[in-house]
Amino acid sequence: MDNTQTSPQGLWLPLVTPFRDSALDEASLRRLVRYYVEQPIDGLILAATTGEGLTLDDGETERLVAITATELAGTGQLMPLYLGLSGSDTRKMARALGHAAAWPVEGYLIACPYYTRPSQDGLFRHFSALADSAARPVMIYNIPYRTGVNLENETMLRLAEHANIVGVKDCSTDPAQSFDLLQRRPSNFSVLTGEDAFFYGALTYGADGGILASAHVETGGFAGIRNKLAAGDQAGALSQWRRLAGLTRLLFAEPSPAPIKHWLWRVGLIDSPEVRLPMTPVTDALACKIDRQIEEAMVLN
C-alpha cells in the first residue's frame, strides 16, 4: 500500500463520527482508528457526509482530527487523512481552509456549493479560489443529488489542470458522465467513486478506487474486489461483488450513517449508535434486519 502518492487511490473510508450523550465519543473514535488502520484501506476521510460533518462545531472538528492523527501516529502506520469541508460561501470556505491549515491532514475533500446552484463558471471559480488558498491538495466532491448542482465534465477537466486539485469523489450517478470523465481525465487526476452500489462497475470502467461508507463493514471484501480486478481476475471480483451488493443496499436502506452506526455498535466498535438531528436512529424493522445479517456473518466466520 503506497501512501506517498499525491493523487488518492484505492479504498478510502469516510469514517463515522461516534457520539455519546450528545458529545464526541473520543474512546470509540480511538477504537475505530485502531481497528481500521489494520484493515486494507488506503486513507481516511473525516467530517464528511458519513461523518456528519455538518453537525460538528469547529472545536469538535479540530478535536476529531487531532485524536485521529494522534492515534494513527501511535500505531506507527502511514495512512493519509483528508478533511471533509462543505459550504456555499467561497469566502467562508477559504477562511475555513486557513483555520485548518495547521491541522495534521494531508488534503481536503470539498463538496460543490449546495442549495445556491451556481453556474459552471461559478463552480470553476469557486474551486479554483479554494485550491489557490488551500495549504494541501483538494479533492472535489461532486454529488448533485445532495447539492442541487452537477459539476459537468468540461468544468471538471479545466479544474483538473490546477496543480492543487488531485481528484474527484464521483457521485454523479450518471454512468455515461463517469465513463467520459475517466476517458478524458489527465493521468495525475484520480477518480474515486463515492457510490457504494456502483463500486464494481466503476472499477471496470477504470476508476482508481472508491470512497465507500459500506467499507466500514466487510472492509477486506471491498478491497479484494479491486485487488482481483487489478490482477485480471474479473470472475473472482464479480463473484465477490455479488456477495457484497446486498450489503450496500442494507446499509443505505435508511439515511446514512444510521445503519452503519447501528452495525458498528452491535459489533462493539462504538459505544452508541447515536446520530445527530436531523438524522435519526434506524427503525426497529431495519435494526432487526441488520442484527440478522450480523448473526449470519458470525456463523460464516
Residue-range domain boundaries for the chain? 10-244
Task: Tell me whether residue 261 is one of the annotated catalytic residues.
Answer: no
Percent of all residues in the chain with a pLDDT value above 90, rounded to a whole number:
95
Per-residue model confidence as pLDDT tens digits over 90-135: 999 999 999 999 999 999 999 999 999 999 999 999 999 999 999 9
Using DSSP bridges, classify how beta strands 23-24 and 10-14 pair: parallel, antiparallel or unpaired: unpaired
pLDDT over 70 at 11, yes or no: yes
In CATH, the architecture of 10-244 is Alpha-Beta Barrel (3.20)
Average pLDDT score, the chain: 96
Name the DSSP letter for residue 198: G
Q: How far is CA 288 from CA 3, 156, 267, 285, in A?
A: 39, 42, 14, 5
pLDDT of residue 4: 36
Closest C-alpha to 246, from 280, 279, 290: 290
pLDDT of residue 300: 62
Find the mean pLDDT for residues 181-196. 97
pLDDT of residue 301: 57
In this structure, the dihedral spanned by the alpha carbons of residues 132, 1, 171 and 175, taken in order and rounded to 10 degrees, is: 120
Out of 82, 108, 169, 200, the active site residue is: 169
Per-residue model confidence as pLDDT tens digits over 264-282: 999 999 999 999 999 999 9
Asked if residue 115 lies in contact with residue 147, where contact means CB atoms within 8 angstroms, the answer is yes
- 298 versus 131: the higher-pLDDT residue is 131
Rounded Cα distance, 7 and 189, in Å: 6
pLDDT over 70 at 53, yes or no: yes
- Cell of residue 148, nine digits: 442541487
Backbone phi and psi for residue 145, each to the nearest 5 degrees, phi listed first: -75, -15
Please name the helix (run of DSSP H) or strand (run of DSSP E) that holds residue 229, with its range, or none. helix 219-230
Q: Which amino acid is at 241?
A: W
Out of 36, 82, 108, 141, the active site residue is: 141
Query: pLDDT grade, residue 222 (50/70/90)?
Result: very high
Q: Which amino acid is at 115?
A: Y
Task: Tell me whether residue 169 is one of the annotated catalytic residues.
Answer: yes
Find the mean pLDDT for residues 160-179. 97
Please name the helix (run of DSSP H) or strand (run of DSSP E) that holds residue 240, with its range, or none. helix 234-251
pLDDT of residue 1: 31
Rounded Cα distance, 175 and 179, in Å: 6
pLDDT over 80 at 3, yes or no: no
pLDDT of residue 77: 87
Closest C-alpha to 95, from 83, 106, 87: 87
Find the mean pLDDT for residues 190-217. 98
| Crossing angle (nearest 10°) for helices 258-266 and 284-300 | 50
Length of the chain: 301
Instruction: Give pTM, 2 decimals.
Output: 0.96
- Cell of residue 28, nine digits: 470509540
pLDDT of residue 19: 98
pLDDT of residue 2: 34
Please name the helix (run of DSSP H) or strand (run of DSSP E) that holds residue 193, with its range, or none. strand 190-193
pLDDT of residue 297: 84
- Cell of residue 233, nine digits: 481476475
pLDDT of residue 223: 98
Asked if residue 64 lies in contact with residue 105, where contact means CB atoms within 8 angstroms, the answer is no
